[in-house]
Structure 1
Amino acid sequence: METTIWTFSLSVPFTEWVKIYDSEDVTNMHTSAGIKTLFRGNSKDDPSQVCAVQQAPIGVAQKLFEENKDMIKGSGHIIESTVVKTYTEN
């Protein structure tokens, strides 16, 4: 398993983005892929900045991201702003 920390900017209010992220469709897609969200929230200092923390089998979260960039972009996630850090328990 690995833990992935995603930080990125939004082009829409966090409340709009989180409705999509927490939607049944996205939740089912994550569950089917073996992804568990541990946290998702926005910065207290800048509400357009988001941090999401996920756990999944190695490589799964990044693969899902790469395969679904158009849908992710449609949620208000600014793809070009994404910074990904991945950690394992080696």
Structure 2
Amino acid sequence: METTVWTFNLSVPFTEWVKIYDSEDVSKMHSSVGIKTLFRGVSKNDESKVCAVQQAPVGVAQKLFEDNKEMIRGAGHIIESTVITAYSEN
């Protein structure tokens, strides 16, 4: 398993983005490949900055991101601002 920490900026309000992220369609897409969201939240100091923490089999979360960039961009995620940090258990 791998834990991935995502930080990125939004082009829409967090409340708008999180409705999409928490939607049934996105939840089904995540669960179908073994992604579990541990946390998603907005910065206390900058409402355009988001942190999301996911756990999944190694490489799965980043592959889903790469394969779905246009859909993710459509939700208000500024792709170019994304910083990805992955952690493993060993």
Whether TM exceeds 0.5 here: the answer is yes
TM-score, scaled to structure 2: 1.00
TM-score, scaled to structure 1: 1.00
SS in 1 for 2:45: coil
Match of 2:56 in 1: 56
CA RMSD of aligned residues (A): 0.2
Instruction: State the distance in 2 between where 1:83 and 1:45 align.
Output: 18
- What is the percent sequence identity of the aligned residues? 79
Residues 52-86 of structure 1 deviation map (CA, whole Å, 9 limit, x = unaligned): 00000000000000000000000000000000000
Q: How many residue pairs are counted as aligned between the two chains? A: 90
Unmatched runs of 5 consecutive residues or more in structure 1: none
Are 1:21 and 2:21 counterparts?
yes
SS in 1 for 2:20: helix
Q: Detail structure 1 runs of 4+ shifted over 2 Å in the superposition.
A: none
SS in 2 for 1:55: strand
